[in-house]
Every structure is written in C-alpha cells, then in structure tokens.
Amino acid sequence: MSTIAFGGYIEDSLKLVPVRIAVLTVSDTRTAETDTSGDVLAGRITDYGHELAARAIVKDDIGQIREQVKAWIASGEIDAIITTGGTGITGRDVTVEALEPLFDKKIDGFSVIFHLVSYQSVGLSTLQSRATAGIIGGVFVFCLPGSNGAVKDGWDKVISAQLDNRHGPCNMVELMPRLLEK
C-alpha cells in the first residue's frame, strides 16, 4: 500500500482497471495543433493507463458543447468526460451553463477540492474558475479551466485518484456499476 500526496492510498496489490475517458476542449480559438491543455490531459490519461476513448474541440457554444457530450454518453463507450475551457467568468465562458443543467447529480465536493488544490498553485486567481463536476446518464463529467496548469492540477491532484480503482479508502470507479440505480 502506497500513501499518496493528497490523501488516501493506492492498494499496490490490485491491478488498475482502465477507464474510458473522453477529452473535450471548449474554445473559440484552439485547433488540434494549438490545443495544449487537451494534449496535456490526453497524455496524462494514457500515461496513467487509461483509455483515451475520444477527443474533440468545440466552440464556446452551449448547443455544441451539449451535442458532443450527449453523443459520447449515448454511445455507451465512455465512462468519464473531462472538459477543458469555458469555466471562467467572461461572457463567452459557457461550459458550466451547458452542462450543469444536464447533471443527474452534481459532485459538489469536486469544486471545493479543485479550488483547494488550485489555490496552492495560483492563489486567489482560483476565484476566476467555476470548475464543476457531475454525473450525466451514468457518466462522470469533470469541467476544468482551459490552462495547462489547471488541467495538470485537476488531473494529477484530484481526478486521477478518483478514477483509480486502487485508490482508498474509496474511489469513483467502484461506484460506476451503480450510477444508474433507481
């Protein structure tokens, strides 16, 4: 058993169960060539041992964001979606408005922990983020800011542990079979 920096432990005797993760970059300006935050996430996901199941870039547009997320969920091939971008406080930042209304359940603690971690990196600038998470149709959805630093903090210090079946005392992977219970 190995202790990890941000709480909990990894049960070394267990094998990682790969999670199928999609990365959605929300931006009016980024392209496949300039999507550095998407690249950071994609690299970290595969380096960790998970499957990068899909990747896309959409404009800061509520309809486009919802359409892509709903398509991935409907496919049945995605366990988690991580978005990057559109969580700020400017007029064009609409990822939160696009996705929170779709949440079957909001994961309130994600925002709290993300801001705690982010504060350690960027101080009070974390106030400009509306990072959020929830569950839509049995799929975890994490919405991160669009900076490379924010996606590193979000993945390295929050999401990776919760999407690791070996993480204790508990993790989100063990809940996946029960997300659609009534």
- Say how far apart CA 131 and CA 142 lie, in whole Å: 8
Contact 80, 144 (CB under 8 A): no
Residue 73: which pLDDT band, with cuts at 50, 70 and 90?
Answer: very high
**Would you state the structure tokens that stand for residue 110, as one six-digit string?**
């994600």
Say what the pLDDT of residue 5 is: 62
φ, ψ of residue 53 to 5 degrees: the values are -80, -25
Say what the pLDDT of residue 91 is: 95
* Rounded (to 5) percent helix, strand, coil in the chain: 40, 20, 35
- Say how far apart CA 66 and CA 29 lie, in whole Å: 19
| Whether pLDDT at 6 is above 80 | no
Share of the chain above pLDDT 90, in %: 93
Name the strand (E) or helix (H) holding 2.
strand 2-3
Task: Give how far Cα 159 sits from Cα of 44, 80, 126, 132, 153, Å.
Answer: 11, 10, 17, 12, 9
What are the residue ranges spanned by the domains of the chain? 2-176
**Would you state the structure tokens that stand for residue 120, as one six-digit string?**
């350690």
Say what the pLDDT of residue 8 is: 86
Tens digits of residue pLDDT in 44-70: 999 999 999 999 999 999 999 999 999
Tens digits of residue pLDDT in 23-36: 999 999 999 999 99
Q: For residues 4 and 118, which has the higher predicted lDDT (pLDDT)?
A: 118
Specify the length of the chain in residues: 182
Say what the pLDDT of residue 2 is: 75
Say what the pLDDT of residue 1 is: 72
| Whether pLDDT at 7 is above 80 | no
> Domain 2-176's class?
alpha beta
Say what the pLDDT of residue 76 is: 97
Other Cβ atoms less than 10 A from the Cβ of 85: the count is 29
| 1 alpha-carbon distance from chain centroid | 26
